[in-house]
Amino acid sequence: MAQRAAAKRSRTRTKRPLRPPARKAAPAANTVGRSATSRGYNRTGASHRPVADAPSQKLHKILAQAGVGSRRMMEEWIREGKITVNGSVATIGTRVVPSDSIRIGRRIVRWPGIDRLPRVLVYHKPEGEIVSHDDPEGRASVFERLPQVRGAKWLAVGRLDYNTSGLLLFTTSGELANRMMHPRFAVEREYAVRIVGQLKRDQIERLTSGIELSDGVAKCDSVADEGGEGSNHWYRIVLREGRNRVVRRMFEALGLTVSRLMRVRFGVVALPPRLKRGQVSSLPAGEVKQLLDWLEQNAVEKQGAAPPA
């Protein structure tokens, strides 16, 4: 009997380790206007245009697309003379084509293949982690949780402060990160905010009309009451910027204390309900293409809405 039970256990199929669930398509705040195929991608994500035919582009943009770093960081490296093109030190405004030889020190930077989609990670950041590689205080970093990536580096799409939790995106594309973060694209950020007490009508009006902070006016697109228990009350707010501690500072200007803050959406990407704190999930290729489409459409709309120079 004991032998038969042991044989049955040996035939039992070994369970695979649990993985974070794949993210379901998040409901978009704005409808994505064009499909992935309209941007030149086929079903595998490959572009129909060969790399050799690519037009010249600014050096810092190409370096960002190659996953070397953000556009701002690349501009700093160019100013510091760290980058050469065809053996000559590059300057701000340098344009490059695929046949150019780009080097950072001894490292050769290859032209980013337009037949490959960037990678995007969705991370549920817990409180008590910093969004930085280095910290003098030795605190835990979100980058310690991420998988290794060959030939590129993970770029954080925006930041969340030490005591803020929720949705944090990472990508290998500096261009994607720039279109999500730069103020001129005005991408929505949605937060769940818990405060001690409740907002009065005039305070809600101040949040939506604009509050003067030390670095300029900040305002919410919307403020929704989500209820609460005891002295704690939840609100869901939407704004279109990511200045340092901007949500906390807005409520502090109203004399209110934020006891908990959580980002639940960034653009068309929402925090998956089943993704637990500290877990990371890779965005599927189809959803990466959907995100790229939406970012392109959003950039066109914002450019069309911009006042003439």
Whether 13 maps to a domain, the answer reads no
**What CATH number did the domain enclosing 253 receive?**
3.30.2350.10
CA torsion angle 200 204 205 210 (round to 10): 130
The 3-state DSSP class for residue 203 equals helix
Whether 305 maps to a domain, the answer reads no
Residue in 161, 215, 225, 293 annotated catalytic: 161
**Residue 221 above 90 pLDDT?**
yes
What is the model's pLDDT at position 304? 72
Tokens representing residue 135 in the block: 């910290």
Classify residue 272 by its DSSP letter: -
Backbone φ, ψ for residue 83 (5° rounding): -120, 135
**Cα separation of 191 and 187, whole Å?**
13
Q: Residues in the chain, how many?
A: 309
Whether 235 maps to a domain, the answer reads yes
- Which structural domain, as residue segments, surrounds residue 259? 120-298
Residue linked to tokens 């500072």: 249
pLDDT greater at residue 40 or residue 164: 164
What is the model's pLDDT at position 298? 92
Whether 67 maps to a domain, the answer reads yes
My answer on whether 151 and 228 are in the same domain is yes
My answer on whether 161 and 226 are in the same domain is yes
**Among 83-87, 154-158, 286-290, 305-309, whose mean pLDDT is lowest?**
305-309
My answer on whether 175 and 266 are in the same domain is yes
My answer on whether 98 and 175 are in the same domain is no
Backbone φ, ψ for residue 130 (5° rounding): -105, 155
What is the model's pLDDT at position 39? 33
Contacts (Cβ under 8 Å, ≥6 apart) of 47: 40, 41, 114, 115
pLDDT digits (tens, 9 = 90+) for 48-87: 344 555 678 889 888 887 778 778 888 899 999 999 999 9
My answer on whether 129 and 260 are in the same domain is yes
**What CATH number did the domain enclosing 89 receive?**
3.10.290.10
Q: What is the total count of domains within the chain?
A: 2
My answer on whether 80 and 100 are in the same domain is yes
**Among 10-24, 73-87, 92-106, whose mean pLDDT is lowest?**
10-24
Q: Is residue 28 within 8 Å of 268, Cβ to Cβ? A: yes
My answer on whether 135 and 92 are in the same domain is no
The partner residues of 156 in beta bridges, in order of sequence, read 170
Tokens representing residue 147 in the block: 């998988």
> Can 293 be counted among the known catalytic residues?
no
What is the model's pLDDT at position 60? 87
Torsional class of 167: left (φ above 0), alpha (ψ -120 to 50), beta (otherwise): beta
My answer on whether 253 and 279 are in the same domain is yes
My answer on whether 232 and 151 are in the same domain is yes
Of 90, 109, 128, the position where a domain reaches its end is 109
What is the model's pLDDT at position 293? 93
Whether 98 maps to a domain, the answer reads yes
Strands annotated E in 43-164? 57-58, 83-85, 88-89, 95-96, 102-104, 107-109, 120-125, 155-157
**Residue 43 above 50 pLDDT?**
no
**Residue 112 above 90 pLDDT?**
no
Read off the pLDDT band of 288 (50, 70, 90).
very high
Whether 65 maps to a domain, the answer reads yes
Whether 6 maps to a domain, the answer reads no
My answer on whether 104 and 124 are in the same domain is no
pLDDT greater at residue 152 or residue 201: 201
What is the model's pLDDT at position 114? 56
Q: Is residue 234 within 8 Å of 246, Cβ to Cβ? A: no
My answer on whether 286 and 141 are in the same domain is yes
My answer on whether 168 and 99 are in the same domain is no
Whether 25 maps to a domain, the answer reads no
Q: What is the three-state SS of 134-188? A: CCCCCCCEHHHHCCCCCCCCCEEECCCCCCCEEEEEEECCHHHHHHHHCHHHCCC
Q: Is residue 14 within 8 Å of 275, Cβ to Cβ? A: no
